[in-house]
Amino acid sequence: MKIFEDTYKIEDSKYLNDIGENDLFFDLETTGLSRRFCHIYMIGCGYIIENEFHTRLYFAEDITEERQIVNEFIKDTRSFERLITYNGNRFDIPFFKERIKDLCINFDMNSFDSLDIYARAKKLKHLLLLPGLKQKDIEHFLGIKREDKYDGGKLIEVYKEYQIRPSDESEFLLMIHNKEDVIGMSKLLPILSYEALKDINLEDLKTESTNTKLLFKASFKLELPREIRIQNDEMYLIIGANYIKGSLNIYDGYIKKYFPNYKDYLYHIADKQIIPKVLVSKADKDKYRKATKEECYINIKTEEFNDKMLIENIMASIQNCY
């Protein structure tokens, strides 16, 4: 068994406000996906003390050392209260639970709270137009660079080869992947700032009209890590670090005023009207279908369309991406 330890100075801590000294970043490397038939060969963890990020990796040089690395990890981390993972609720934590059960190790993983970055980032996929939800997809979106070029699946064969013919090169490949996964999780936390975008208060709204567009710009008190764009049939939005700007279509002197949450409405099939769900009795529900976000609007004359309506349209466009 080997333990690799390292310490890094945290250069930017503005997205780490919710991370305390009782939080532990946690990541497993395994010989496969099956909890019953595969094994843990590396346990990576990280924690923050003041302005430093500490990593510790427990490496089984041979798979027979799985019990040893698990026991060492448990011994060193009993004081932590919350595990921070990437897809840990679905993979790392249940995998670890199954392995300690098979190894007859007495330890209650349920004593930890959990923050799964993947589970929360999944809800932002459409808002951020993410191509996928692997950890490296989020890293790419945030502009995070890493030395490691492999994924966990490809490294299984590297580990099998290492057990037959150990080498410094293979050991480095296995170690650097796990370490960068652990360090990378701390750098992924800015992605969670987009969760609050649907509840922002827009300020300093400025508008300008043409015959076909209502142009606007506003600010908000939320710092986002990078600019995103939202486009639909009626509106185009550019959302930056703490500002928003864009345009809204004007049709022959009318602007479509969208309702904030289209899921709260039903569409009356015969009358072709949008009705709030709360106003529809159970007896009449066969006359309705679910409303789509594209049809949840009313037409407002341009001269009657005010700033409050514009802000509601902007927020509806944002909220419909979640």
How do residues 206-246 score in pLDDT, each as one tens digit?
999 999 999 999 999 998 999 999 998 899 999 999 999 99
Q: Residue 95: which CATH number? A: 3.30.420.10
Q: How many helices (H) and strands (E) does the chain have?
A: 8, 16
CB-CB contact of 244 with 252 (8 Å): no
Identify whether residues 92 and 154 lie together within a single domain. Answer: yes
Identify whether residues 168 and 209 lie together within a single domain. Answer: no
Identify whether residues 306 and 280 lie together within a single domain. Answer: yes
Q: What is the pLDDT of residue 82?
A: 97
Identify whether residues 202 and 170 lie together within a single domain. Answer: no
Identify whether residues 213 and 290 lie together within a single domain. Answer: yes
Domain that holds residue 29: 2-193
Q: What is the pTM of this model?
A: 0.87
Q: What is the pLDDT of residue 320?
A: 85
CB-CB contact of 66 with 95 (8 Å): no
* Angle (CA) 204 205 207, round 5°: 140
For residue 256, CA distances in Å to 95, 217, 299 come to 51, 19, 5
Identify whether residues 118 and 257 lie together within a single domain. Answer: no
- Half-sphere exposure of residue 310, counting CA atoms within 13 Å on the CB side? 29
Identify whether residues 84 and 201 lie together within a single domain. Answer: no
Q: What SS3 state is found at 22?
A: coil
Identify whether residues 176 and 296 lie together within a single domain. Answer: no
Positions in the chain short of pLDDT 70: 283
Domain count, the chain: 2
Q: What is the pLDDT of residue 283?
A: 63
Identify whether residues 26 and 106 lie together within a single domain. Answer: yes
Would you tell me the crossing angle of helices 168-188 and 152-164 to the nearest 10 degrees? 150
